Chains A and B, each alone.
Chain A
Amino acid sequence: AQTVTQSQPEMSVQEAETVTLSCTYDTSESDYYLFWYKQPPSRQMILVIRQEAYKQQNATENRFSVNFQKAAKSFSLKISDSQLGDAAMYFCAYRSATSGSRLTFGEGTQLTVNP
């Protein structure tokens, strides 16, 4: 079964600085999607960014970018110019055809942004 691991339960960053959240996963498949979701205190799940495994180019969405290392099965999220509104729980997630199209989540990383 596929597993997703986030080894940083908590991270903090100064406002306007850059922070990187780590994620590793285990799979034997070659075609899948990886996601980063943000969950603020409201607990609404917000899609931050997604990466298709067959695309070598790292996905970017404004201040958010990923470093996708397929061979190493690593998928880190970089947040540039951190803002107070970025404070939230961040989940890395995996999805593939053989997993029934479900999302498998990592344990989450609680990000604090200090003013």
Chain B
Amino acid sequence: GAVVSQHPSWVICKSGTSVKIECRSLDFQATTMFWYRQFPKQSLMLMATSNEGSKATYEQGVEKDKFLINHASLTLSTLTVTSAHPEDSSFYICTASRGSSYNSPLHFGNGTRLTVT
């Protein structure tokens, strides 16, 4: 089956530093990737949608200068948390879509647990 590799699975960083999270589709081309954030015991909240070769579309309330998303190829999207602060500590999950249609298969990465100290 389709595999989406998300790396790292967990990371601890100091306040003020930046962290990059990668999401790779290993055996298919991901036209669209979605980035979600999940706080403990809460639901997944969409942060942004990225399409290969174009700028990401951010959800209302998500700071695009803080959460930089790059989708430079059909198999790789990255999320960079810039100048991280403790309140950015969360679980981040990427989802890759095989196509741009709403009935295209979706595949989840395993998530990244970010802790900012």
When C-beta atoms are compared, the residue in chain B nearest to A108 turns out to be B43
B78 within 8 A of A: no
Q: Which of A64-115 contact B (CB under 8 A)?
A: 91, 95-97, 99-108, 110
> Closest CB of chain B to A46's CB: distance in Å?
8
Partner of B43, one of A44, A96, A106: A106
B102 touches A44 (CB 8 A): no
Mostly helix, strand, loop or mixed at chain B's interface? strand
User: Interface code B87-117, partner A: CB below 8 Å = 1, 0 otherwise?
Assistant: 0000101010100111110101011010000
Partner of A101, one of B43, B45, B102: B102
B67 within 8 A of A: no
> Closest CB of chain A to B2's CB: distance in Å?
11
| B residues near A103, Cβ cutoff 8 Å | 34, 44, 46, 95, 106
User: Interface code A37-53, partner B: CB below 8 Å = 1, 0 otherwise?
Assistant: 00000111100000010
Interface size on B, residues (CB 8 A): 25
> Closest CB of chain A to B109's CB: distance in Å?
9
B111 touches A101 (CB 8 A): no
> Closest CB of chain B to A4's CB: distance in Å?
9
A99 touches B44 (CB 8 A): no
Question: In which size bucket is the chain A interface?
Answer: 20 to 34
B110 touches A102 (CB 8 A): no
In the complex, besides A33-B102, A91-B44, A105-B44, 19 extra interface pairs with C-beta distance below 8 angstroms are A44-B110, A44-B111, A45-B93, A91-B43, A95-B102, A95-B106, A99-B102, A100-B57, A101-B100, A101-B102, A101-B104, A102-B34, A102-B49, A103-B44, A103-B106, A104-B46, A105-B43, A107-B42, A108-B43
